[in-house]
Amino acid sequence: MKFAVIVFPGSNCDVDMYHAIKDELGEEVEYVWHDADNLDEFDGILLPGGFSYGDYLRSGAIARFSNVMQEVVKAAEAGKPVLGVCNGFQILLESGLLPGAMRRNESLQFMCRTVELKVENNNTMFTSSLNQGDIIRIPIAHGEGNYYCDEATLQQLMDNNQIVFTYKNNPNGSVSDIAGIINEKGNVLGMMPHPERAVDELLGSADGLKLFQAIVRNWREAHVVNA
């Protein structure tokens, strides 16, 4: 399986994501600059964390208009797995690939620590290596991770089982403790915690590696079936 790690001006977790895929997962991966106009050769798309375009206006608001985002939308519509982490999640929200918005943390302070997440939905291409109700340990590092949506959207997320992860002890004030959501089609996941920073016990947790393993396994199973 071949992954693209999208790099925007200001991305700073692209190397972590690249390492997770190449060195820990053992899959093919390339950095792709934000002005790319074709992602057809890639099987999975990864939007890493950081401060794209300096987080001016709003986090992810400018990156949403980058050339490559047209191709990310195209990949999502084609059913390819798309994972946005932290700033990548913010970009997915701004682009309309996921519903809702991000606000400043309730504390108005940047947070950087490991948190516990509850797996709310393990019936996705990203979480099938986990069990429903599992508690996993994944780091956070954000100043605008306070997920918000209106009541109608929240009800829709709950009705469609689109809430994938919740915080065990909500660090930022996110509505309904939401830490990660998926689109209705089930192939676009956005999450604020960083699974790419939890791919080896030397880092304090290897729980994040299970997400990437699930992506690869589900992709291979789908392509064997369709071969």
CATH at residue 20: 3.40.50.880
pLDDT band of 98, cuts 50, 70, 90: very high
Evaluate if residue 224 carries a pLDDT over 80: no
Q: What is the mean pLDDT of residues 121-125?
A: 97
pLDDT band of 80, cuts 50, 70, 90: very high
The number of distinct structural domains making up the chain is 1
Check 27, 34, 94, 194 and give the catalytic one. Answer: 194
Q: Which domain holds residue 158?
A: 2-226
pLDDT band of 56, cuts 50, 70, 90: confident
Question: Which pLDDT value is given to residue 57?
Answer: 78
Question: Which pLDDT value is given to residue 225?
Answer: 61
Check 34, 71, 86, 120 and give the catalytic one. Answer: 86
Question: Which pLDDT value is given to residue 13?
Answer: 96
CA–CA separation, 64 and 58 (whole Å): 11
CA–CA separation, 32 and 167 (whole Å): 31
Question: Which residues fall within 8 angstroms of residue 147, CB to CB, at 6 or more apart?
Answer: 100, 101, 102, 103, 172, 174, 175, 178, 179, 181, 192
Evaluate if residue 12 carries a pLDDT over 80: yes
* pTM, rounded to two decimals: 0.96
Q: What percent of the chain has pLDDT over 70?
A: 99
Question: Which pLDDT value is given to residue 50?
Answer: 94
User: Is 223 among the catalytic positions?
Assistant: no
User: Is 86 among the catalytic positions?
Assistant: yes
User: Is 196 among the catalytic positions?
Assistant: yes
